[in-house]
Amino acid sequence: MTPTINNLMQDLYKRVARTVVYCLTLGLEAEDWNSLTVVLSNSLTLDERLAFAWAAMRALPPDVAADVAKTVLPYSAGIPVPPLGDPLGEAAFWVSVANPDEREAYCLATFNAMPSNRQAAFLDYVQGRQAA
């Protein structure tokens, strides 16, 4: 008996294929496709996800692919929310979801808003960490 592709396929790949079919069948709303994102992240290697994304983006007209890339890439944490509890903990959480441009902008703005004695103390702290 000759093995079929279904017999040769890894279970993880079967899960990915089923999820793609479910998403195509159920609809085109973003919420319907979130499950595919989760399955791809948990089932495929980075190289496999890169190949999948490359093929999907190449199937789009260039202007549409650029629009898709813009919606996916420039994530934003938005403005930091006033802390309800521990300000350092809230700041650490915000930094973990902010993009690099946001982190740098808020760092510079915060530093510039400090009184000069606090700026000096901050610089001593940062430079001390670099020396360590």
pTM: 0.51
Q: Provide the strand spans (E) within 32-90.
A: none
pLDDT at 108: 93
What span, in angstroms and rounded, lies between the C-alpha atoms of 29 and 2?
Answer: 40
pLDDT at 74: 63
What span, in angstroms and rounded, lies between the C-alpha atoms of 123 and 11?
Answer: 54
Is residue 89 within 8 A of residue 64, CB to CB? The reply is no
Measured between alpha carbons, how far apart are the two ends of the chain, in Å? 66
What span, in angstroms and rounded, lies between the C-alpha atoms of 34 and 31?
Answer: 5
The string of pLDDT tens digits covering residues 26-80 is 876 777 687 788 888 888 999 999 999 999 999 999 889 888 887 777 667 777 7
The string of pLDDT tens digits covering residues 120-132 is 999 999 998 765 5
The string of pLDDT tens digits covering residues 97-109 is 788 888 899 999 9
> Using CB atoms within 10 A of its CB, is residue 16 exposed (0-12), middle (13-18) or buried (19+)?
buried
Secondary structure class of 77 (helix, strand, coil) = coil
What span, in angstroms and rounded, lies between the C-alpha atoms of 65 and 57?
Answer: 6
Matching residue, tokens 């017999």: 7
pLDDT at 121: 93
